[in-house]
Copies of this chain bind each other. A is one copy, B any other.
C-alpha cells in the first residue's frame, strides 16, 4: 500500500502510515487538498502549529511515462489565507517515488528560537540535522553545500532567506537535473509555511529505493509509447516550447494586446521584441547557454534553458514567460540581462517571481524606484537578503502588502495573490480563472489562453463574454485532475487537441494501479479536488464576493482594444463546480 510520511517538526519524530481511508488512491493536488481540507483548521493562522505543509507526488510520478515528474505542495497559504496547491518540477518528486513515498506532511511547529533543521530522507529512514553552514543562505549556495555533503544524486527542496523569515511571497525551491535550485513551488507563500516549521531544507537520497510497481506492465508500456507520440506530435509541445521556451508567448500575447504593461495600464509593450522568446534564444545561442532543458528526467517538452550573461557566466534557468513579463513589460524594463538577474535573485532568495514582479510595480507606483529602471529594481530586491532591512521585509511580503506600505490603491490581486501575465480584460477566459480559482489569481488553474489566443482546444473570443465562463470552468476541472497525476501542465496543449489523449491518460493510470479508471474518472477527480478546496475556503471565510477582480479592471479601459472587465459576481459563480 502507498505510504505517507508524517514528520513532526517539534518532536522531530517521523512515522510512515498507510495511505488509506479518505486519502486512498490520491496523488498530487488531490492528496494535498484533501489532507489540508481534513486536517488543517480553515481559520488557523497560516504560520501556527495547526497548519501543515504537505508534499505529494503525482499518481504517475516515478513511472516511465513522459512528463510525470511534477509534484504538489499544499497548505493553508500564508499569502492568501485560502487553501493552496503549488506545483513544481525538479528531481525531488521522482526520488520520493523511488523510495515509494507518495507524500509527506510537516506538522506542528518548534519554538521560534530553535535553529533551522535539515531533514534527510533515505531508504533507511528520516534524520533531522542542524546545519549551521547553510543557515540564512540563498538557495544556490545552500544547494551547493547540500550537494557537497549529501552527494550529487540528492534531490533538494530548500527555502531561501525569504522563507526563513516567513515572508509572505516566499517560494520553495527544488533543484533541477543540473543541480540548480531553479524550479519553484512559487505561489502562495508556502516557503513561509516551511520556514515557520523551522525547516531550511529537505534532502532525499533515493539510492536503493524500491521504485514504483506497475500493475500491468504491457498495457502501461503501450499507453506510455502513445503518450510520448502525442506530446511530440503537437506543434506547441513538440516545437514551440522546445524551440523558444515559454517566452515564445511574449510576442504572441503582445500582439493580442494582452501583455500587461506598466502595472496593467497598457496591453502592449513597445519594446516587447527585446524581451521576446526569440530574443532570449538569440542571446542564449550567442553566449553558450543551453536553449532546451527538461526540469526532470523523462521530460520530452524541454521548455527550460540555461541563460548566461554576456561573459558566458551562468545567470538562471527555468526563465519563464511569466517571469520575463513580471520584470519586463510590467515594469517597463527591456534589458533581458537585468530581467534574468531579477529571476536569479528571486530563485536565490526563495521568492515567487510573479508576486515579486507585481510587488516591484507597487514600488514604482509608490515612487520608491523609477519605472523601467532595471538596476534600481535589482538593488531594491537585494535588500531582501538582509532580514533587518525593513523595506526588504515589505517587498518580500508581496504586492498587497507593499501597496499598503506605500498607500497605492491600484493593486492587481485576487484574494491577495497577484494577477499574472495576461490582462484579464483582453483574455477574459483566464480572467474568469483569476477571479474564481480557489487559490487567488492564478493562470495555471485554468489556462484559457489556449482557447482565447492560442486557439488550442477551441476558439473563444478573448474580448467577449460568450463561452469564457464555461471554458474556464472546464479547464479548472481538467487542471485539478492533471495536477494530481504528476503531469506537467503543458501536456494540456497536446491533450486538448488530440482525440485519444484523455483515453491514453486513463489507460496509464489504470495500468499503473491495476484498477478500472476511465476518462470520466478524470473529470470526477478534478471536481472532487475543487470541492475540497471550495469548502476549505468557505470555512476560512471566503465568499463569492472574493471571486472578483479589483475595481480598476472594471473602471479602466485597456488599450489598444479599449477592453474592460465586465463579468458580474453571478456570472462568475457559474465558473465554479457545484458543491
Contacts and interface: CB of A to CB of B under 8 A. Distances in A.
A196 B407 CA distance: 8
A44 interface: yes
A105 to B, nearest CB: 19
Contacts of A165: 407
Interface size class of A (residues with CB under 8 A): 35 or more
A551 B390 contact: no
Q: Assembly of this chain: how many copies?
A: 2
A550 B47 CA distance: 13
A389 B539 CA distance: 38
A126 to B, nearest CB: 25
Contacts of A50: 551
Nearest to A401: B404
Interface in A342-399: 389-391, 393-394, 397
Nearest to A45: B409
B195 A407 contact: yes
A47 B538 CA distance: 27
Contacts of A540: 545
Contacts of A538: 545
Interface in A313-333: none
Interface of A, helix, strand, loop or mixed by DSSP: loop
A548 interface: yes
A166 B408 CA distance: 9
Interface in A522-547: 538-543, 545-546
Contacts of A45: 409-411, 550-551
A441 to B, nearest CB: 15
A388 B48 CA distance: 31
Nearest to A48: B409
Nearest to A195: B407
A47 B546 CA distance: 18
A192 interface: yes
A540 B548 CA distance: 11
A41 B407 contact: no
Nearest to A393: B405
A397 B405 CA distance: 7
29 contacts: A41-B551, A43-B545, A43-B548, A43-B551, A45-B551, A46-B409, A47-B407, A48-B552, A112-B407, A165-B407, A166-B406, A168-B404, A192-B407, A195-B407, A196-B407, A196-B409, A389-B390, A390-B390, A390-B393, A390-B405, A394-B405, A397-B404, A401-B401, A538-B545, A539-B545, A541-B543, A541-B545, A541-B546, A543-B543
Q: Which 5 A-B pairs have the closest CB atoms?
A: A166-B407, A390-B390, A541-B545, A47-B409, A390-B391
Given A45-B409, A195-B407, A390-B393, 14 more contacts: A43-B551, A45-B410, A45-B550, A47-B407, A50-B551, A165-B407, A166-B407, A390-B390, A394-B405, A397-B404, A538-B545, A539-B545, A541-B543, A541-B545
Interface of A: 41-48, 50, 112, 165-166, 168, 192, 195-196, 389-391, 393-394, 397, 401, 404-411, 538-543, 545-546, 548, 550-552
